[in-house]
A and B are shown apart, each in its own frame.
Chain A
């Protein structure tokens, strides 16, 4: 059993080739892992800070509900969307959130297939974050369709009233399928991974309601070897299915733009560039959430500095990919010799949206370079600041792509300058309320750490 731990003993970011770096610190054994992971959930009273955060998040959520109601009652005119920028902030926000929703499945699926054991401590929280981000993402196109009450026209359901089917050759419909498939598969993956840990909750909870709910959710899991056998194969299958899926989702989101003919959108670099950007922003969001969460819930021994450092390295790598893509876009715009294409990119960097463009460049390309310095990527408060900048930059990336191209379409007479309304701004800010509410409730009532997986990667010797 772990006793008092020297805070300096929590630094496992050194590299020693002679032995494996421990991923669980503080000499925790199986029991210790369970108790550390369940600590926050088992606490009789949640700390005040959790209540304050939840209150703030739920206030924003309430405002979001009011704003959506206002939108539905008044129509999409309450947004700044207007000729020629019919895709305004709702689509920017959608791409922003769905991009964030890529890290979880990437961590749980791709890192799983690559046998990256360090994923186990962070995958549960990252998957939860994925699902909550996809909820926020799905909301925006959902309310953007104008007549929300006939949203089911998006799906191939025969309706006598409409007497039409969706157009299966339209990227927007591919998007419906991609995002809803992604949401469903992520949810299944998340829930399936959680069942053994919910069984732990079932066996530890003292409240009657808890016994009932966790008993129901854990489906009577016993940890039988036969069950584990099928469970592991199913997990690998889901990981193998989710890997191409996660790459397809942002690819298809990029098709929304790339398949159209608009200068600045009609480029083949979009799919890889969007996927890299999605991983970039997703990991930044995971770091932003986990640094305060590990401090608040006492998870430093499980979510170690090494985990955070690894994520920061991925952020830096994907940041460089995104930066390369920005450069290639300019090169192609010049190399194509197409006047409108060149103009579109010149206009991004030096036109009337140049302020947004340079925010994007500095946040996405310049600031992550700090992670070359070891101090920057191993100092928790500093990495959070960098990651927040990354997400600001990634929001502006989607803003630049969507708005600058739309505001400079083929007809100069219709060129315009997009201005958001207070509803636009309110909905972006309040979508964080929805996201945070879900995440805070998750932290309190569901297993934040994949205990069964962490135990599985603990070294066999020296655990007691």
Chain B
């Protein structure tokens, strides 16, 4: 409703509003007003009246330029987003690394595939800019407009047209302007006044705002109060997300199926929750009938191996017991040798294992991973674990059987330790050494065997070994060369392998380890 106050102290004159009944007379009046020199005025209509822009001197808006700017920057944002998120090129610069999808060898960034998303980002950015830009340039939303207090003005959204001459205009004069509006064909003229008495914010708004803000802060405050706290209760699981499933996990006890009763009624009597394979079942891909390849045992002795058993393949139950005793005594070699059939071991690499430079390199790599921890990089039995354990054992803090030096005379040469036996040692362990068949695949075991033979050929000595032993090793070696064609190959392979290692310049490679050991030996002497 219009404020019917005429008290000048309570309200301020904003302008004069003239009403017109059709768009043509509005445009005509606007033209008259412009010609009369009015600059600050605005026309109001229920729909856009064409021809009114020049009539009241509206300049073309810069909105399209703003949108163009937004669209152009969206090109870079769109492409940049994809470039960053789908490649690892910017990982150093951003807190969240990119994620390159390697799919069918397709390029990580390709313009055609990245165009659709770029296009959508351009359209989205431009549309939002258009929308927000239009309202901001129009200074909307503005709810406290004095025009809305004039009841006559309510028809501006229906069928009436208005021209408002603003009081700020230099030409504005209360009575003269009213006369002019009437002259230009206004059906009615009314004052627009701003109410100065009612400018305060309603009291409930700040209260409600503060209350609302406090209520909104409660949940985050509750969450942050738990920050860095420890809690013995399991965390709140809002979405179960397949975390608890009706299944028995491996290595767990047979579940108690006696629901709600006190007595234990196991699902399986053997206490396991999982079933063992039927006797004689062979897992897919593990049919190891080639005894030479899989056990290092000659075909003729294959029947002595108990296939698919977890016990050492090469020894009978009795001899195993013997060896176990020997191990405990810290002197395994004589006991084992007493019952071990040396004839059974293959002395050459089995079919399917070709000793090449690649195999030796592989063997060296695997040796350094699995064996060097105890046996040392040069195989002299002085790996870090061994050194540490020996130091502890010397203080009486641990019991430890020293790792074998691979350069000992009794583990060198085809007579004492043929390749098959070395393979068996890796596979099933020997003495205190555990089996490695679970960790190392067959091919890699043979690669290690090749590398061990290569190490033994270097002529290194075991720490503390006397010259005689070294001499003996040399003899054996020369024998070996004449006997075995493979050895020659091995030797040359080994040289090149060593060179390669040196090139790699690793701190922990066998060459430097050897040097170090040599140095230590000299120091000892």
A: residues with CB less than 8 A from B are 29-31, 34, 147, 149, 156, 158, 163-169, 171, 173-174, 177-178, 181, 184-185, 188-189, 192, 196-197, 199-200, 202-204, 215-216, 219-234, 237-238, 241-242, 244-245, 248, 252, 255, 451-453, 455-456, 460, 463-464
Contacts and interface: CB of A to CB of B under 8 A. Distances in A.
A255 B85 CA distance: 22
Interface in B338-388: none
B85 A166 contact: yes
A29 B119 CA distance: 43
A219 B131 CA distance: 13
A307 B25 CA distance: 31
B103 A452 contact: no
B58 A225 contact: yes
B346 to A, nearest CB: 45
Given A171-B116, A196-B157, A197-B157, 10 more contacts: A165-B99, A169-B113, A174-B116, A222-B156, A223-B45, A225-B52, A233-B60, A233-B64, A248-B120, A453-B47
B63 A237 contact: yes
Interface string B120-133: 11011011101101
A184 B120 CA distance: 11
A216 B148 CA distance: 13
Contacts of B133: 234
Contacts of B238: 149
A222 B145 contact: yes
A227 B410 CA distance: 101
Interface string B258-295: 00000000000000000000000000000000000000
Interface stretch (B135-143, B227-235, B244-252, B307-315): B135-143
B47 A456 contact: yes
A178 B124 CA distance: 9
Given A220-B148, A225-B53, A158 B42 contact: no
B145 A220 contact: yes
A231 B153 CA distance: 20
Contacts of B141: 219-220
Interface residues of B, number: 71
Contacts, number: 202
Nearest to A174: B116
Contacts of A196: 46-47, 157
B398 interface: no
B152 to A, nearest CB: 11
A29 B22 CA distance: 11
30 contacts: A30-B46, A30-B159, A147-B241, A149-B238, A158-B96, A167-B101, A168-B114, A169-B103, A178-B116, A185-B123, A185-B127, A188-B131, A200-B157, A200-B158, A203-B155, A204-B157, A215-B143, A220-B140, A224-B42, A225-B53, A229-B61, A230-B61, A230-B63, A230-B137, A231-B48, A231-B138, A234-B131, A452-B46, A456-B47, A460-B24
Contact of A192 (B52, B64, B123, B134): B134
B154 interface: yes
A233 B48 CA distance: 11
Given A165-B98, A169-B114, A221-B140, A31 B120 contact: no
A31 B158 contact: yes
Contacts of A225: 30, 42-45, 48-49, 52-53, 56, 58
A301 to B, nearest CB: 16
Contacts of B47: 196, 223, 228, 452-453, 455-456
B401 interface: no
B106 A169 contact: yes
B125 to A, nearest CB: 10
Given A167-B86, A196-B157, A230-B137, A173 B117 contact: yes
B216 to A, nearest CB: 20
Interface string B60-101: 110110010000000000000110011000000001111101
Contacts of A165: 85-86, 98-99
Contacts of A34: 46, 158-159
A166 to B, nearest CB: 7
A230 B121 CA distance: 24
B117 A224 contact: no
Interface in B214-248: 238-239, 241
A223 B49 CA distance: 10
Nearest to B135: A219
A259 to B, nearest CB: 9
Contacts of B239: 147, 149
B207 interface: no
B475 to A, nearest CB: 61
A30 B158 contact: yes
B406 to A, nearest CB: 44
Contacts of B64: 233, 237
B205 to A, nearest CB: 13
A199 B157 contact: yes
Contact of B117 (A174, A197, A230): A174
A150 B289 CA distance: 50
A215 B106 CA distance: 54
A455 to B, nearest CB: 4
